Amino acid sequence: MFIFNQQALRTFNEKTLSHYKRHATIMAVLLLVCGICCLIYPIAAGVYLSYATGFMFLVCGFYSIYSLFSAGKKQLKAKFTYAFFAIAWLLLGYCFLVNPVIGMNSLAMVFCCLFILGGIFRVASGVQMFRSPGYGWNIFIGILDLLIAGVWLNMDPDKSYVFTSIFIGVEMIFSSLAFISLRRNTNLVATDKLANNH
């Protein structure tokens, strides 16, 4: 887990700051490279993303099976929950690995639902804080989220697949910028500490 708050970073010693700086650099480079690859090669990136998601679902499924058998004398309800999630995760993982296009389109549906929920909550929040600072931006971004979700839902499967890959690529690039900002903050904090020591 990374802390992006500059005030919290000031409480860290030099070794911890160096650790944060190194890992922030690695994460920034990885996310930037992956994000650019998603934008340049959206179809190939979509296949790899689907495989990676499928693999993670399988890991969750096998862990649920492990939890089921290591549950001991837990209630039947708990065991049923473990069994249900194990089957669900394994089926999802299998679908993503066998048919990446269906997997990516499933991810697109999940993202659309999140955009719809986010849009509704943002608009509702903007209406509640009417005339307060920033209420207009909340409503505007909420409407924008709903419009993006609407366009996404109306795309055919092939376009939706490519759009999802591009969307994930853009998200990765923005995330890499956040880690670059973290690296910059660690440099500023380290410089301030050196100045204070002298």
Specify the pLDDT at position 198.
54
Q: Is the pLDDT of residue 189 over 70?
A: no
Angle (CA) 179-183-188 rounded to 5° is 140
Contacts of 160 (CB under 8 A, 6+ apart): 104, 105, 108, 152
CA distance 35 to 137: 27
**More confident of the two residues 136 and 11:** 136
CA–CA separation, 49 vs 162, rounded Å?
A: 12
For residue 194, name the pLDDT band (cuts at 50, 70, 90). Answer: low
Which residue matches tokens 């862990």?
63
| CA 112 – CA 145 distance, rounded (Å) | 9
pLDDT band per the 50, 70, 90 thresholds, residue 165 = confident
SS3 4: coil
- Number of residues written out for the chain: 198
Q: Which of 119-123, 143-147, 180-184 has the lowest average pLDDT?
A: 180-184
pLDDT single digits (tens) 42-54:
888 888 888 888 8
- pLDDT beyond 50 at 133: yes
Instruction: Supply the Cα-derived Rg of the chain in whole angstroms.
Output: 22
Give the residue, 67 or 189, on which the prediction is more confident.
67
| Residue 10 pLDDT > 50 | yes
